[in-house]
Amino acid sequence: MDHQIREISYWKNVKSKMRLQPFVHAVESSAVPIAIADPYEADCPLVFVNDAFLKLTGYEEHEVLGRNCRFLQGPETRDADRQALKDAVRDKATISREILNYRKDGSSFWNELHMAPMLDDHGDLLYFIATQVDVTERMTRTENLRQELDEKTTALRDQAERTHHMAREMTHRVRNSLALIQAMLRMQLSSLSDDTARNALVGALSRIQAIVEIQRIIEHGDLDAKIEIGQIISSICEKLDHISRAQVVSSADRIEIGEELVTPIALIVSELVTNAQKHAYGQEDGGIIAVTARRNGEGIALIVRDDGRGLPADFDPRAVSGFGMKMLLHEIDHLKAELRVERGEKGTAFIVEIPMQPEA
């Protein structure tokens, strides 16, 4: 008991000496809770607290002087906050942090703590001074808003999943209908001898096939999932490979794109491959139509190259009046892409430079 009395007397004496410090007068009557700790004493104890601090924490003055301020911490105080305070004292650094503290009666409050080293005229450390602000109401309000936002986000996500499931079901039915139409058109194609009619029907078949494959890929994808461009290209080329004697092959870099690019890219590939099948070779000629997708800086270079008869020197894709070319150019313009035509010693390459969209 005598030891405890002597200790209380000692810290009261320390506080009395603190009152001789000029800066103490400015903080003693402050409405903001303030505490000052001495880093040169063992365990960096509190040597001064004002009345606002005592009112906030519920302690008496003799219960806090001489103690490290960690007595305000409790079972749910975050370890990261504890460590941050230790690091700030070790590094003699300024820190601002929201930390869960506890009053004498055991009730908790969120403390917006600001702690800084106090230096003398030579830059040497004198004390640590800390201010406290009870921000429990603000933190509670923020947490409530976060929970409400999480609940709404979950509800929206669930609704999106249900919508996606319905869309997949509709896509499946549309794909089945298109497959039936496609089978009927193939039967009609086998009975046609007129080249103009055959070319028109081949074009229609390839576009339908592209749409069917788009539907299949999207149907089996997850909500918001990215799709590899190689999957699209190889699928389209596989379906178009049997239409003529020219073999259709594909290769691609690993490039993931969003759904918004799937349809345009599939239609572009389908149209360029079909054009090569119809115009680059004779009816009995064979060859190779190679489709590639490569990274090109921040964009994609989509290339369809054939080894057929080639194009006239004055060929201008924008001067072609056919429906297929108009649709192709529409998709290219929609993507803000560029179309180049390169003539080789044998065959032609159509190169579509597609800028990668930010959302893709």
Model confidence over 32-45: pLDDT tens digits? 999 999 998 889 99
pLDDT tens-digit map of 309-343: 888 878 888 888 777 788 888 889 988 999 999 88
Q: What is the chain's Cα-based Rg?
A: 38
pLDDT at 164: 60
pLDDT tens-digit map of 211-262: 676 666 666 555 556 788 888 888 888 878 777 778 899 999 998 888 788 8
2-134 against 142-355: fold identical: no
Is there a contact between 65 and 49 (Cβ–Cβ < 8 Å)? yes
pLDDT digits (tens, 9 = 90+) for 165-204: 665 666 566 666 666 666 766 676 666 777 677 667 766 7
The pair of structure tokens assigned to 307 is: 């080894």
Distance CA 303, CA 191 (A): 33
Q: What is the mean pLDDT of residues 56-65?
A: 92
Where are the chain's structural domains?
Answer: 2-134, 142-355
**pLDDT at position 116:** 94
CA distance 186 to 311: 28
DSSP of 141-191: HHHHHHHHHHHHHHHHHHHHHHHHHHHHHHHHHHHHHHHHHHHHHHHHHHT
The predicted structure's pLDDT at residue 319: 84
Q: Is residue 14 over pLDDT 60?
A: no
Q: How far apart are CA 86 and CA 77, in angstroms?
A: 14
Question: Torsion-angle region of residue 143: left (phi > 0), alpha (psi -120 to 50) or beta?
Answer: alpha
- The CA distance from 292 to 349, in Å, is 11
Q: How sure is the predictor about 119, in pLDDT bands with cuts at 50, 70 and 90?
A: confident
> In whole angstroms, what is the distance from residue 6 CA to residue 58 CA?
23
Contact indicator for 248, 291 with CB cutoff of 8 Å: yes
Which numeric CATH code is attached to 2-134?
Answer: 3.30.450.20
CATH level 3 topology of 142-355:
Heat Shock Protein 90 (3.30.565)
- The first and second tokens of residue 63, run together, are 């219960």
Distance between CA atoms of residues 295 and 308, nearest Å: 26
Nearest to 233 by CA among 178, 289, 279: 289
Q: Facing residues of 321 across strands?
A: none
Q: Which amino acid is at 270?
A: S
CA torsion 276-238-252-332 (nearest 10°) is: 50
- The first and second tokens of residue 323, run together, are 């429906």
Q: Give per-residue pLDDT as tens, 128-160.
A: 999 999 999 998 898 888 888 888 888 888 776
Sign of the CA dihedral with 218 first, then 223, 224, and 229 last: negative
Tokens for 238, please give them.
């596989």
